[in-house]
A and B are shown apart, each in its own frame.
Chain A
């Protein structure tokens, strides 16, 4: 994969298309923590030469030029990446949500998005044999209390 500047994203794809990569395959994103990596792939069906370009945008408020004006097939992929990761694709011909309703909250594929059910439902794994009904420990007091997977500490009522 060749990594390009976010500012040159559309230019690079225009050049790739002009060079023969007409067949758009996919566009998606990966949450790398502080940045979102956006990756897209297109193919020249005559030569089977492949173009795989990557770029990155900030995890919050990321913006990228839409390549849908170049590849009609990119429109759904960008709509999906927009609602799942919260990326704005500038110049998208039809930026409606694809699968989610606009009211459905935080972008679900961001790693920072908490699945509320994991906080609301009591995790059965929190129980420990050495904790008595009154909450007092009978066993090793230094053992760290188990936290439900996928529920951040600051979402839970009691601290760690």
Chain B
């Protein structure tokens, strides 16, 4: 982002992913109006000491957002029950090839590093429970 042209911290510039928080529940993928999110995952059986049966765990293999198609509505960020998606105000990621606007799990994780803390609410506002995980 140009230093002399900072975007407001809450600007909808790009979406960052906390892959470790994602449970592959598919809600964001299914709610996306432009079908621009793709997610691949598989289940693994995890044996836990003391448990009668192994527990099924979803493992996230791939997660990508196509920013050529994304309409920046933020529904995915809103519906995520596990707080894995966050807005970053970064906006300079034009590409020469449209295929490069498909940002994968790694790239989305890098975007998360640019997510600023939420601004404090005005006095008297309802307290927001959600916090940017550090």
Interface of chain B: mostly helix, strand, loop or mixed:
strand
Name A's interface SS.
loop
Q: Which residues of B contact A (CB under 8 A)?
A: 24, 26, 29-30, 32, 35, 37-43, 56, 58-59
A interface list, Cβ under 8 A from B? 121, 123-125, 127-130, 132, 138-139, 146, 149
A65 to chain B, nearest CB (A): 39
Contact of A124 with B38 in the complex, beta carbons under 8 Å: yes
* Complex contact A138–B29 (CB within 8 A): no
Subset of 5 A-B contacts with CB under 8 Å? A124-B35, A127-B38, A132-B42, A138-B56, A149-B30
Please, which residues of chain A bring their CB within 8 A of the CB of B39? 124, 127
Shortest distance in angstroms between B56's beta carbon and chain A's nearest beta carbon? 7
Among A123, A125, A129, A149, contact of B42 (Cβ-Cβ < 8 Å): A129
Given the known inter-chain contacts A121-B35, A139-B56, A146-B30, please indicate yes or no for A127 contacting B40, CB distance below 8 A.
Answer: yes
- Asked whether A139 lies within 8 Å of B43 as measured between CB atoms, the reply is yes
Q: Which residues of chain B have C-beta atoms less than 8 A from A129's C-beta?
A: 24, 26, 41-43, 58-59
Other A-B contacts than A123-B35, A127-B40, 18 sampled, CB-CB below 8 A, are A121-B35, A124-B29, A124-B38, A125-B29, A125-B32, A127-B26, A127-B29, A127-B39, A127-B41, A128-B26, A129-B43, A130-B43, A130-B56, A138-B43, A138-B56, A139-B43, A146-B26, A149-B30
